[in-house]
Amino acid sequence: MDFQVVVLAGGSSKNLTPLVSKELPKPLLPVANRPVLSYVLHQLEQNNLKDLIVVVEGEDTALVVGAWISGTFIDRLHVEIAAVPEDIGTAGAIRAISHHLTAKDILVVSGDLVSDVPPGAVAATHRRHDAAVTAMLSSIPVSGPLDSGSSGGKDKAKKLGRYNIIGLDPGKQFLLHIATGAEIEKDARLPKRILRAVGQMEIRSDLMDAHMYAFKRSVLQEVLDLKDTFQSLKEDVLPYLVRSQLKSEALSNRTPQGEENGNEKVTSQNNQVFVSRILANSSTPSFHDHSSENPDGSASTRKTHKCCVYIASSGSYCVRLNSIQAFMDINRDVTGEADHLLTGTSSDPNNNIGPSPKLGTKTTVGPHCMLGEGSEIGDKCQVKRSVIGRHCRIGSHVKVVNSVVMNHVTIGDGCIIQGSVVCSNVQLQERVVLKDCQVGAGFVVTAGSEYKAESLARKEK
Amino acid sequence: MKQPPQKKDGPPVASSVAASERGVDRPVEKERKKDLPPPRMQFDDESRVDKAKRRSLLNQPEARNRVELFRHLPPHKNGSQLPYLESKFFELHEMHPSVYKVGLQYLTGDTSGGNARCIAMLQAFQEAIRDYSTPPEKTLNRDLTSKIGGFVSFLIECRPLSMSMGNAIRFLKSRIARLPLTLSESEAKAALCSDIDRFINEKIVLADKVILRHAATKIRDGDVLLTYGSSCVVEMILLYAHEIGKQFRVVVVDSRPMLEGQKQLRRLVAKGLSCTYTQLNAISYVMHEVTRVFLGASSIFSNGTVYSRVGTASVAMVAHAFHVPVLVCCEAYKFHERVQLDSICFNELGDPDAVSKVPGREDVNYLDNLTDKQKENLQLLNLKYDATPSDYISVIVTDYGMIPPTSVPVIVREYRKEYLLI
């Protein structure tokens, strides 16, 4: 279908320390005991997109990710790993691999997106309108109990910072305005020209940009070449394209439809004009055409390009893993409501308790839990709405609620872990109480300590 | 007892017309019979519907509250098709991307109008042919024909074909069948692409230019011209006549639910014509000041019946009652051998819910709050086309000149051979 897929897998992430480290880059962060990148790759494989380019920041990270991908998806996908320097931003990453892109349209997927929206929907919308860019929007996910407690005057400003302001046309097809939360302080500035052309704009703050874009390759490459300073697709390139959709001065030398001008006879030119006029007259005119006409009705030389949106239906699940809160939420959702995402992503059978975890006596494991294989849980434990990785040794009288425990963790007796993330190879000694904490990899928590809302990490040597 | 579905396009009609020329034309008739499209599926025949369902790419929607009289027509593909088709975007290997795009545009109503749909389809086929490569051990003729057949079934599932598209597909298939076997693949592909270009140029572009010239001679200064709906040919005529300096004004008549006339009105006003806009209910009030009526057509049948957007028949009838001449402007490639006496046996169903809503008027929503029990007794019908009898038509302006409606079978007989035999 002439689409090329690029997966931006990132590398390290400042939001997610101490969870990510050199050995465990962000794409391999486990969600329900599977790396988060596997959800994206699995979805692409299910939609029959077998040729991918995965972009990873950092050479070492690229090696680690590449090794994992070739191990897991060995015959099912054909993946090309591209390593780019760190901190180059998403736009920079695309610039770096620009010479690999050959197809007519590029589908850019963020590697930390966990969703069940078919990428074909975005692609079909893109093709139908012949758009320059199509973005996928989804409703903002309801966040977990950690955040819902804070509401009230002084926190409203913080909450507003998370929202995006998105302007859509009345038919909900075209993107008129996009502003991320960071830019909005008190007022939002709207472009007048676009508003005048459309007539009516609907402003939504309950939608978020899901970071799955379909770009026309020529447009994308031109914008990236022209604007060297653009670092991020989401914050620079997309708003630029949306702002300039009625006066694409950068793209004004591009003829629409890519007509072959080899035949220079006047008659054939006339015929082309005729034919394109018939086609243009028949289709529903969008505000782009109206605005590109001069007052006397003739088409002006200004070119327009279309920025379309695809709004994911409310029934679908779409969350990005870009904060610790999101990490906890996704873990909870994937084992809970959205467990259709799990089927088939790995060779484990469908039941949530993998083979051979050993449960002690009087141990209760609640619903929506996940236990990896080889884990041992002692007596009188309670595990509720949590994910426990492989080869963990959990002692007795341990209470694990609403948490994520990764592989090879040793938890001593009498611990209480609540709302926390415990990374691999961590040792928690006896009677440790963790509440809303994040424990980095390889850390040792001394016995009897109590931590609340802290982030514990091993000091880098 | 169910009657077997009737073969719609009649070999009996063709043979009766050609009765006098039996000797010479026998082989031509046989070829014509082979080229005729397969009989149209009657949707009240259960077994065939089930078979088609199994073979189809799209989900057929559930038939819901359909009017008895029109149950033989394919049900409307409402908006629920679109998500299904989108989710299958990357899985339809056989489909070429441009054919897919054209199908999506038909499904959502982005492209409508006989000429535009035909041109879009032919251009998509051109690209598909350019990207085509013969698989080993197969001949180009047969394989490409079956591929085009696959594309056509996909397009039919998105939206039933218009007559113009049907004729264009027949032309393309006959060209493929006639390719000499000695041609190499690239030569054959280039020949086909140039044939398609020639078809578009001769049958549509040049035909339109000829029609413009003929019809403009029928417009005098001081005329009040009435047009219905949105026909690209009629719009071009009006703009051309305005350019060459004739003084006239235009009455644009429109109708719900499609409200196509508004787009045309916008374009005409932008060019400086003085227009009046009204809806179909006011046609008899407006007709007394009208001097000529210009209508477009989706197709013209062999008995002179004009098959066009629903409402055209009413406009023509009122014009006839007021003794206003009615000129139908239609390119000759849209003519068809079929004979149709009414609007029922062959038509297209639109979205029934569009009838119950008035855009822009949220207060007119009397049908929204019906209970399910009430909805069982209410059937909404949205027809897209209707058939205007030839008595109401004064003249048909085609690229072969201005002919009376009774001459249509002559054109079909004489000039149809031309592109089959080249």
Q: Grade residue A26 by pLDDT with cuts at 50, 70 and 90.
A: confident
Instruction: List the one residue out of A308, A426, A339, A430 whose CA is nearest residue A24.
Output: A426
Mean pLDDT of chain B: 82
Return the SS3 of A346.
Answer: coil
Mean pLDDT of chain A: 75
Question: Crossing angle for the helix pair B140-158 and B163-177, nearest 10 degrees?
Answer: 170
Read off the pLDDT of each residue in A178-207 and give the average, rounded to a whole number.
76
Q: Do B83 and A282 touch (CB under 8 A)?
A: no
Across the A:B interface, residue pairs with CB atoms under 8 Å apart total 101
Nearest-angstrom CA–CA distance, B170 and B168 = 5
Alpha helices by DSSP H, listed for A171-234, are: 192-198, 217-226
Residue A121, pLDDT > 80, answer yes
> B110: nearest CA in chain A?
A283
Nearest-angstrom CA–CA distance, B345 and B71 = 10
Residue length of chain A? 461
For A238, B169, B330, the CA distances from B399, given in Å and listed in that order, are: 49, 20, 8
Return the SS3 of B47.
Answer: helix
B418 Cβ neighbours under 8 A, 6+ residues apart:
none
Q: Do A313 and B83 touch (CB under 8 A)?
A: yes
Residue B242, pLDDT > 70, answer yes
Least confident of A57-66, A193-202, A335-344, A347-356: A347-356
Place of tokens 């050609």: B18
Give the model's pLDDT for residue B31. 43
Least confident of A4-8, A183-187, B321-325: A183-187
Residue B341, pLDDT > 80, answer yes
Residue B57, pLDDT > 70, answer no
- Kindly provide the b/e burial profile for residues A275-313, where b requires at least 16 CB atoms within 10 angstroms of the residue's own CB: beebbebbbeebbbeebbeeeeeeeeeebbbbbbbbbbe
Give the model's pLDDT for residue A444. 84
Do B396 and B303 touch, CB atoms closer than 8 A?
Answer: no
Residue B384 vs residue A74, higher pLDDT: B384
Phi, psi of A150 (to 5 degrees): -90, 110
- Kindly provide the b/e burial profile for residues A425-435, where b requires at least 16 CB atoms within 10 angstroms of the residue's own CB: bbbbbeebbbb
A42 Cβ neighbours under 8 A, 6+ residues apart:
A344, A345
Cβ-count burial of A393 within 10 angstroms (0-12 exposed, 13-18 middle, 19+ buried)? Answer: middle
For A15-161, strand residue ranges (E) read 30-31, 34-35, 51-57, 78-84, 105-110, 113-115, 133-139
Nearest to B87 among A121, A282, A285 (CB): A121
Q: Do B86 and A1 touch (CB under 8 A)?
A: no
| Nearest chain A CA: its distance from B105 CA (Å) | 6
H-helix or E-strand containing A237? none
Do A397 and A413 touch, CB atoms closer than 8 A?
Answer: yes
Residues 225-254 (B) with a CB less than 8 A from some CB of A: 230, 232, 235
| Nearest chain A CA: its distance from B46 CA (Å) | 32
For A191, A415, B225, B249, the CA distances from B265, given in Å and listed in that order, are: 29, 76, 13, 12
Q: Do A2 and B97 touch (CB under 8 A)?
A: yes
Residue B413, pLDDT > 50, answer yes
Residue B217, pLDDT > 80, answer yes
A405 Cβ neighbours under 8 A, 6+ residues apart:
A386, A387, A388, A389, A392, A411, A417, A422
Give the model's pLDDT for residue A339. 65
Q: Grade residue B1 by pLDDT with cuts at 50, 70 and 90.
A: very low
Read off the pLDDT of each residue in A100-122 and give the average, rounded to a whole number.
84
Judging contacts by C-beta atoms under 8 Å, the chain A residues touching residue B117 are 282
Q: Do A285 and B105 touch (CB under 8 A)?
A: no
Give the model's pLDDT for residue A256. 41
A128 touching B, CB under 8 A? yes
Read off the pLDDT of each residue in B31-59 and give the average, rounded to a whole number.
58
Q: What six digits make up the tokens of A247?
A: 């006066």
H-helix or E-strand containing A391? none
Residue B268 vs residue A130, higher pLDDT: B268
Read off the pLDDT of each residue in A317-343 and give the average, rounded to a whole number.
76
Nearest to A124 among B85, B232, B263 (CB): B85
Nearest-angstrom CA–CA distance, A69 and A41 = 9
Judging contacts by C-beta atoms under 8 Å, the chain A residues touching residue B85 are 124
Give the model's pLDDT for residue A183. 57
Identify which of B7-11, B157-161, B193-197 has the greatest average pLDDT: B193-197
Judging contacts by C-beta atoms under 8 Å, the chain A residues touching residue B105 are 128, 283
Q: What is the DSSP letter of A28?
A: G
Q: What six digits make up the tokens of B374?
A: 């009430």
Q: Do A283 and B101 touch (CB under 8 A)?
A: no
Residue length of chain B? 422
DSSP string, B338-353: ----SSSSS--B--TH
B411 Cβ neighbours under 8 A, 6+ residues apart:
B332, B335, B398, B400, B403
Q: Do B90 and A274 touch (CB under 8 A)?
A: no
B260 touching A, CB under 8 A? no
Nearest-angstrom CA–CA distance, B227 and A390 = 75
Identify which of A65-69, B29-33, B156-160, B296-300 has the greatest average pLDDT: B296-300
Residue B56, pLDDT > 90, answer no
Cβ-count burial of B243 within 10 angstroms (0-12 exposed, 13-18 middle, 19+ buried)? Answer: exposed
Nearest-angstrom CA–CA distance, B298 and B383 = 14
Q: Grade residue A37 by pLDDT with cuts at 50, 70 and 90.
A: confident
A120 touching B, CB under 8 A? yes
Cβ-count burial of A75 within 10 angstroms (0-12 exposed, 13-18 middle, 19+ buried)? Answer: exposed
Q: Do B90 and A313 touch (CB under 8 A)?
A: no
Give the model's pLDDT for residue B32. 44
> Partners of A109 in the beta sheet?
A7, A212
Judging contacts by C-beta atoms under 8 Å, the chain A residues touching residue B97 are 1-2, 104, 127
Q: What six digits make up the tokens of B293?
A: 């009526």
Residue range A169-182, pLDDT digits in tens: 887 788 888 877 66
In 3-state terms chain A splits into helix, strand, coil percentages (rounded to 5) of 30, 25, 45
Read off the pLDDT of each residue in A106-125 and give the average, rounded to a whole number.
84
> Partners of A456 in the beta sheet?
A439
Q: How many helices (H) and strands (E) does chain A have?
A: 12, 32
Do B136 and B130 touch, CB atoms closer than 8 A?
Answer: no
Nearest to B87 among A118, A129, A297 (CB): A118
Residue range A126-138, pLDDT digits in tens: 888 888 888 888 8
Judging contacts by C-beta atoms under 8 Å, the chain B residues touching residue A199 are none
Instruction: List the one residue out of B296, B384, B383, B387 whose CA is nearest residue B339.
Output: B387
Give the model's pLDDT for residue A341. 67
Return the SS3 of B209.
Answer: helix
Nearest-angstrom CA–CA distance, B218 and B246 = 11
Q: Do B83 and A293 touch (CB under 8 A)?
A: no
Q: What is the DSSP letter of A353?
A: B
Residue A82 vs residue B372, higher pLDDT: A82
In this prediction the ipTM stands at: 0.73
Read off the pLDDT of each residue in A289-304 and give the average, rounded to a whole number.
53
Instruction: List the one residue out of B116, B382, B351 whose CA is nearest residue B231.
Output: B116
Residue B145 vs residue A291, higher pLDDT: B145
Cβ-count burial of A458 within 10 angstroms (0-12 exposed, 13-18 middle, 19+ buried)? Answer: middle
Judging contacts by C-beta atoms under 8 Å, the chain B residues touching residue A284 are 109-110, 263
Judging contacts by C-beta atoms under 8 Å, the chain B residues touching residue A279 are 111, 116, 119-120
For A57, A266, A292, B240, B398, the CA distances from A271, given in Å and listed in that order, are: 50, 9, 22, 16, 19
DSSP string, A256-294: GGG-------HHHHHHHHHHHHHHHHHSPPPHHHHHTB-
Nearest to A1 among B86, B97, B205 (CB): B97
Distance between alpha carbon A59 and the CA centroid of its chain, in Å?
22
Q: Around Cβ B31, how many Cβ atoms within 10 Å?
A: 15
A51 touching B, CB under 8 A? no
Alpha helices by DSSP H, listed for B200-335, are: 207-217, 232-243, 261-271, 283-286, 312-321
Q: Do A128 and B263 touch (CB under 8 A)?
A: no
B81 touching A, CB under 8 A? no
Nearest-angstrom CA–CA distance, B223 and B221 = 6
Distance between alpha carbon A11 and the CA centroid of its chain, in Å?
14
Do A204 and A166 touch, CB atoms closer than 8 A?
Answer: yes
pTM greater than 0.95: no
Residue A286 vs residue A400, higher pLDDT: A400
